[in-house]
Amino acid sequence: MRLATDPPNRVAVLSVHTSPLAQPGTGDAGGMNVYVLQSALHMARRGVEVEIFTRATSSADQPIVRVAPGVLVRNVVAGPFEGLDKYDLPTQLCAFAAGVLRAEATHEPGYYDIVHSHYWLSGQVGWLARDRWAVPLVHTAHTLAAVKNASLADGDAPEPPLRAVGEQQVVDEADRLIVNTEHEAQQLVSHHHADPARIDVVHPGVDLDTFTPGDKRAARAALGLSPDDLILTFVGRIQPLKAPDVLLRAAAKLDGRFPNLRVVVAGGPSGSGLAAPDTLIRLADELGISDRVTFMPPQSRDQLVNVYRAADLVAVPSYSESFGLVAVEAQACGTPVVAAEVGGLPVAVRDGVTGALVPGHDVGDWADAIADLVDRGPDTLRAAAVEHAATFSWAHTVDGLLDSYGRAIGDYRARHHRDTSRRNGRRFSMRRGVRA
């Protein structure tokens, strides 16, 4: 007999709105994609099978993709393959849920031991699957509407009330809630009145075998960048939430002070940035620094290593960030980070040790923070950056996930046993009453 604290044999992971196989840095693909895929791969190495359900976005998507031993992705057909905005996805949750339930129905009852949903849309489906399969639901929000709406970038659209309501429902129904940082746990309690006893803090990891320090000159040569430039880099989705414009404006202020300054932007339009995908290019022209800005498309993991190694500083100026995986990846490559002091970034970056945290998004403050790090010498922070990043591994993440799963399964079975005992007790009392 398996104990309640034993790890699950098989986990159903739900990622409705973005596939773990999508290229991070464009569309809705980002840190969450990396989290879902890497945690699944590392969990499979522990002998836990993982099946990831995501929405098919192309007719060419195979129904089942076996990514690695013990990890498969199920592409569920729900709505049109292309042109469906994330905000329209709630209309397709019924179709997606049907696909998930049908996949489970082809197996014997009890095929999945637990459901782990990512983002509120997946939580809505996970809630249904939990009740249908009689297994616990663990949920990771990644971002919250209330938090994003409290710190909107100029011109960015607020999250709709529908999402806030949906998030509250999932928080109320989930057996356990997994968050990236203590700060995020506090947000769940303050905004959604979550029970602190049901929250587990599990830091995301970084692939420490891929993201490693290396030769800066060689990385620059591979990317066609000058070995003598001062390179400030932004990696991520190009949208107001991620605030790449703050880096460009700060760079323009520093243009006279650092004549060899160059900005590298690696990523593609996303979210509200899709409405005007050339905004950043036009801004560089308006600021008079277009000749100092290099735009790159989203990079594969292997190419991204060179982007980080080539940089003197990596900037993460987001208005909201549940953790900031880019910041840890950059530090793992030995590159210091200047980041906004929001969300989980104070955990990802050690202020004054592996980079700098900037309160707010004032361009003058950002220019000063960048100048201070340049004057100090980014290479002096290199060793500390690598050492700090080494504390975030996917092995540690999976340790935390499996601990949370074990608690969820144990609590669920204990509660189910108590409920069954009460029902049996009531039936026995009723029978005695009839005999009397």
| Any domain includes 2 | no
Residue 357 reports pLDDT greater than 80: yes
| Any domain includes 435 | no
CATH number (domain holding residue 360): 3.40.50.2000
| Any domain includes 433 | no
Q: Do 158 and 251 sit in the same domain of this protein?
A: no
In the chain, the number of structural domains is 2
pLDDT digits (tens, 9 = 90+) for 3-59: 445 779 999 999 998 889 887 766 666 788 999 999 999 999 999 999 999 999 888
Percent of the chain at pLDDT exceeding 90: 77
Confidence of residue 423 (pLDDT cuts 50, 70, 90): low
Q: Which domain holds residue 229?
A: 216-391
| pLDDT score recorded for residue 128 | 97
Average pLDDT over residues 64-88: 90
Which residue positions form the known binding site for 1D-myo-inositol 3-phosphate? 17, 28-33, 86, 119, 143, 163
Average pLDDT over residues 256-279: 78
Which residue positions form the known binding site? 17, 23-24, 28-33, 86, 119, 143, 163, 237, 242, 299, 308-309, 311, 321, 329, 335
Average the pLDDT over each of 9-18, 152-161, 242-251 and give the range with the smallest value. 152-161
| Any domain includes 370 | yes
Confidence of residue 430 (pLDDT cuts 50, 70, 90): low
Which residue positions form the known binding site for Mg(2+)? 308-309, 311, 335
Q: Do 224 and 136 sit in the same domain of this protein?
A: no
Which residue positions form the known binding site for UDP-N-acetyl-alpha-D-glucosamine? 23-24, 31, 237, 242, 299, 321, 329
Q: Do 65 and 111 sit in the same domain of this protein?
A: yes
| Any domain includes 154 | yes
Residue 424 reports pLDDT greater than 70: no
Q: Do 144 and 17 sit in the same domain of this protein?
A: yes
Average pLDDT over residues 206-211: 95
| pLDDT score recorded for residue 426 | 63
pLDDT digits (tens, 9 = 90+) for 178-195: 999 999 999 999 999 999
pLDDT digits (tens, 9 = 90+) for 339-348: 999 999 999 9
| pLDDT score recorded for residue 276 | 45
Confidence of residue 144 (pLDDT cuts 50, 70, 90): very high
**Contact assessment for residue 81 and residue 60, using Cβ atoms and an 8 Å cutoff:** no
